[in-house]
Copies of this chain bind each other. A is one copy, B any other.
Amino acid sequence: MSTAAQKVTQPTHLKESAPLWFEEIQTHICETLEEIEIEFMHPTHLPGQFAFKSWERHDPTEPDNKGGGGKMGIMEGGAVFEKAGVNVSTVYGEFAKEFCHEIPGADKDPNFWASGISLVIHPSNPFVPAVHMNTRHIVTSKSWFGGGADLTPTFPIDEDTKDFHQSLRTACDAYNSDAYAKYKLWCDEYFYLPHRNEMRGVGGIFFDYVNSGDMSADFEFIKLVGKAFIDVYAKIVRRRMRQEWTIDDKYKQLVKRGRYAEFNLLYDRGTRFGLMTNGNVDAILMSLPPVAAWP
């Protein structure tokens, strides 16, 4: 355990149980996606599989130069999932000075500890929506949970959008009756490309700085979000994955993915956080689409 990790005052159980949960849901999500690949039974295409790669983060502010690390899971060239990246990481150290004022509790003490799961899925079929999900636990002199899930179809279909929102609403309602309305709005505001004056997708939920005073309850909410996400996304994928598509549909998907790349590189805080905390570049930029187009 690093000195930074020791410096933060935090109920120990969350700093142990949260990373365990993120690994557990990573395994569950990857297995679910692999099951769908097998179920799809493409005539000429072997079912896609995840490859896992562990990485270590180095932090020169730590005496042993260690700053945690993570485990990337990536499936490339699957029959259903053209690219799916599912990462967990637990990192700690000191924020760079110029970054401290942006992070609650870091203005006086730059030490941080952060653990989370982050995934982006770019399906092959243009009628299967792309998706993102992330949940995280961050500890500075304060501590909180954050996360979200949002759906990005190339061709929005009401049935899918409704199911996705309903599943996340159920997770939110079990936690707090105000949560869904607030987190849905936050999502719409966050996943927005001002230069295009367009939404990234059809929304979902987004939340940050969640600390209700009962962090065990907050943690239960985090678990519900992860489970609700994979249940509904698997359902949507199975519903759409055999739909026929044309080259024109595929090109529209590539253009939509170009917008996805724009958002992630121009605005996404997770990308910015990762690059500014010297995270693993491959893991951070795994969210970028396998192929994208700009007309």
Interface, chain A (partner B; CB < 8 A): 76, 83, 195-196, 254, 258, 261-262, 265-266, 275, 281, 284-285, 288-295
Q: Determine the chain B residues whose CB is within 8 A of the CB of A262 once the complex forms.
A: 265, 285, 288
Best-buried of A76, A254, A266, A289 by chain B (most CB within 10 Å) = A266
CB of A258 within 8 A of CB of B288, answer yes
CB of B76 within 8 A of CB of A275, answer no
CB of A254 within 8 A of CB of B294, answer no
Q: List 7 A-B contacts (CB under 8 A).
A: A196-B281, A261-B292, A262-B285, A285-B294, A290-B294, A292-B293, A292-B294
Contact partner of A295 (CB less than 8 A), chosen from B76, B196, B293, is B76
Q: Determine the chain B residues whose CB is within 8 A of the CB of A266 once the complex forms.
A: 265-266, 275
Known: A261-B265, A265-B262, A265-B266. A292 touches B295 (CB 8 A): no
Q: Determine the chain B residues whose CB is within 8 A of the CB of A285 once the complex forms.
A: 195, 262, 294
Q: Determine the chain B residues whose CB is within 8 A of the CB of A76 once the complex forms.
A: 295
Q: Determine the chain B residues whose CB is within 8 A of the CB of A281 once the complex forms.
A: 195-196
Smallest CB-CB separation from A263: which chain B residue? B265
Q: Determine the chain B residues whose CB is within 8 A of the CB of A254 once the complex forms.
A: 291
Closest 6 CB pairs of A and B: A265-B265, A288-B294, A291-B293, A195-B275, A195-B281, A265-B266
Known: A196-B281, A261-B265, A265-B261. A293 touches B294 (CB 8 A): no
Q: Determine the chain B residues whose CB is within 8 A of the CB of A83 once the complex forms.
A: 294
Q: How far is the CA of A83 from the CA of B76 in the complex (A)?
A: 27
Contact partner of A290 (CB less than 8 A), chosen from B195, B289, B290, B293, is B293
Q: How far is the CA of A210 from the CA of B83 in the complex (A)?
A: 46
What is the CB-to-nearest-CB distance from A27 to chain B, in angstroms, rounded to a whole number?
24
What is the CB-to-nearest-CB distance from A197 to chain B, in angstroms, rounded to a whole number?
9
Q: How far is the CA of A290 from the CA of B254 in the complex (A)?
A: 10
Smallest CB-CB separation from A293: which chain B residue? B291
What is the CB-to-nearest-CB distance from A47 to chain B, in angstroms, rounded to a whole number?
20
Best-buried of A275, A281, A284 by chain B (most CB within 10 Å) = A281
Q: How far is the CA of A290 from the CA of B292 in the complex (A)?
A: 8
Q: Determine the chain B residues whose CB is within 8 A of the CB of A295 once the complex forms.
A: 76, 290
Q: How far is the CA of A289 from the CA of B295 in the complex (A)?
A: 9
Q: How far is the CA of A196 from the CA of B275 in the complex (A)?
A: 10
- Known contacts A195-B284, A262-B265, A291-B293; 7 additional CB pairs below 8 A are A261-B265, A262-B288, A265-B266, A266-B275, A290-B294, A292-B292, A292-B293
What is the CB-to-nearest-CB distance from A202 to chain B, in angstroms, rounded to a whole number?
22
